[in-house]
């Protein structure tokens, strides 16, 4: 029978769907936005029409509308063979993807305490597809699973150890679906077995994280207990001095306000005072907007510092890899970042860096660079589709 796979990615106010065939080729995708708000709407990629969703449409209602729209447009002609869900937090329970059953659902529920903004909405998606497709295998693919190989010295915080024992306070890491994909792709490009491949993977999108991958496994990563730690991001501060909390409390900023400010009003947006969108910032900086230039400079410097820090987890380095919307597209960010790292032997080729995207070359380092530097597009949906297909088939 022909295989069709559905990939589901639920955000707090969005639902992304993608359909793949048995050869893991993408057939269609759709995005619903402003879910649970009065003006919810959706679009199918390649289609001009905006689909109006019911007022305060839930994830389940949006899913029903989009599946009907796929069917009407003949994009989903056979029954689904598996459904793959992106689940943000698997805690220490999940080291890899799993087929969903009641036990898995309650384990994901338990992890909701660690990711209150993400896991409950991921579960809404799972409950919705279980209702709509009760006989189709459902697979959970976790953003934390790839980082379950972190050694203790990399995942423990230097805080009272009972916080870990009693409250699970530790570093988990995120973007694991992307970093795992980059490890495999880098191994393919470098023509090495995955188990012998060591790379630093910089995933730079609206959220940003960097991972040291040693012999194919995650050895250190910049995000921690939550996705707020580490690099400067679109609207998140990344690392911050914890002494600031007390100081700002003295200024009348309460914990919730602080959380909102560090999560939604900081990063590129906070620094520039204009936007969290790197493409717009690059244009603004070019036209002489000083705080946009500062935002880009802080972003790149912090990233360069982290690239240096990731070296502590590696015995050798086969390549530094840039990925994500910014990593794949911004030659300015790549060049500025690498300009801080000449002491470590990284050297960019201006020409290869600028023409990347117009050629199929991954490599952007100069011939004299001590380490290769690659640009590789990530594809998290493809990973989820592959995992869904693998785990749905009987062994």
Chosen residue from 60, 215, 277, 335 binding ligand AMP by CB under 6 A: 277
224 is a contact residue toward ligand AMP (CB under 6 A): no
114 is a contact residue toward ligand AMP (CB under 6 A): no
In the region spanning residues 203 to 222, those forming contacts with ligand AMP, defined by CB under 6 A, are 205-206
Q: By CB under 6 A, which span of 67-75, 152-160, 301-309, 321-329 interacts with ligand AMP?
A: 321-329
Annotation marks residue 143 as catalytic: yes
Closest CB to ligand AMP among residues 120, 377? 377
Chosen residue from 61, 329, 336, 349 binding ligand AMP by CB under 6 A: 329
Which residues share a beta bridge with 357? Answer: none
Measured distance CA(222)–CA(220) in Å, rounded: 7
283 is a contact residue toward ligand AMP (CB under 6 A): no
Task: Give whole-number Cα distances, 280 to 269, 285, 294, 300, 372, in Å.
Answer: 11, 9, 14, 16, 29
Instruction: Name the minimum Å distance from CB 203 to ligand AMP.
Output: 8
- β 208-214/98-99 pair status: unpaired
Instruction: Name the minimum Å distance from CB 333 to ligand AMP.
Output: 7
The alpha carbon dihedral of 307, 294, 265, 58 has a sign of negative
Q: By CB under 6 A, which span of 100-108, 180-188, 285-293, 325-333 interacts with ligand AMP?
A: 325-333
Closest residue to ligand AMP using C-beta atoms: 325
Which residues share a beta bridge with 70? Answer: none
279 is in an annotated binding site: yes
Coil/strand/helix, residue 303: helix
CB 365 within 8 A of CB 373: yes
Task: Give whole-number Cα distances, 334 to 190, 293, 320, 347, in Å.
Answer: 20, 15, 11, 11
14 is a contact residue toward ligand AMP (CB under 6 A): no
231 is a contact residue toward ligand AMP (CB under 6 A): no
For the chain, give percent helix, strand, coil, nearest 5: 40, 20, 40
Chosen residue from 325, 334, 364, 376 binding ligand AMP by CB under 6 A: 325
Closest CB to ligand AMP among residues 198, 378? 378
Task: Check 143, 220, 318, 331 and give the catalytic one.
Answer: 143
Tokens describing residue 33? 């936005």
Closest CA to 393 of 102, 139, 188: 139
Residues in binding site for ATP? 16, 203-207, 277-279, 325-329
Catalytic annotation, residues: 143
Residues of this chain that interact with ligand AMP (CB under 6 A) are 205-206, 234, 277-279, 282, 324-326, 329-330
């Amino acid at each position: 029978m022909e295989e069709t796979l559905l990939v589901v990615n639920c955000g707090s106010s969005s639902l992304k769907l993608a359909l793949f065939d048995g050869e893991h080729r993408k057939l269609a995708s759709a995005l619903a936005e402003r879910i649970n708000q009065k003006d919810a709407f959706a679009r199918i990629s390649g289609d001009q029409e905006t689909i109006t969703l019911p007022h305060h449409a839930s994830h389940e209602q949006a899913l029903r509308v989009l599946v009907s729209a796929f069917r009407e447009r003949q994009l989903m002609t056979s029954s689904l063979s598996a459904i793959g869900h992106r689940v943000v937090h698997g805690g220490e329970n999940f080291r890899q993807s799993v087929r969903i059953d009641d036990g898995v659902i309650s384990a994901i529920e338990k992890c909701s305490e660690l990711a209150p903004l993400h896991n409950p909405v991921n579960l809404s998606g799972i409950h919705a597809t279980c209702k709509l497709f009760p006989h189709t295998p459902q697979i959970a693919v976790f953003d934390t699973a790839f980082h379950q190989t972190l050694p203790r010295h990399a995942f423990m915080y230097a805080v009272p150890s009972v916080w870990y024992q009693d409250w699970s306070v530790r570093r988990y890491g995120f973007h694991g679906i992307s970093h795992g994909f980059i490890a495999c792709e880098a191994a393919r490009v470098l023509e090495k077995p995955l188990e012998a491949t060591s790379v630093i993977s910089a995933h730079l999108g609206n959220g940003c994280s960097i991972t040291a991958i040693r012999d194919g496994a995650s050895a250190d990563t910049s995000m921690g207990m939550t996705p707020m730690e580490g690099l400067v991001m679109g609207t998140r501060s990344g690392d911050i001095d914890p002494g600031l909390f007390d100081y700002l409390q003295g200024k009348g900023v309460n914990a919730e306000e602080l959380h909102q400010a560090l999560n939604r009003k900081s990063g590129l947006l906070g620094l520039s005072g204009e936007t969290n969108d790197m493409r717009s910032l690059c244009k603004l900086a070019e036209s002489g907007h000083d705080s946009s230039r500062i935002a880009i400079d802080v972003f790149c410097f912090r990233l360069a510092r982290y690239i240096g820090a990731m070296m502590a987890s590696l015995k050798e380095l086969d390549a530094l890899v840039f990925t994500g919307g910014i990593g794949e597209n911004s030659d300015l960010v790549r060049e500025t970042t690498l300009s801080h790292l000449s002491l470590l032997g990284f050297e960019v080729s201006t020409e290869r860096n600028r023409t990347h995207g117009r050629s199929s070359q991954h490599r952007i380092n100069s011939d004299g660079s001590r380490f290769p530097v690659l640009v590789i597009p990530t594809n998290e949906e493809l990973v989820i589709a592959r995992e869904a297909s693998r785990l749905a088939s009987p062994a």
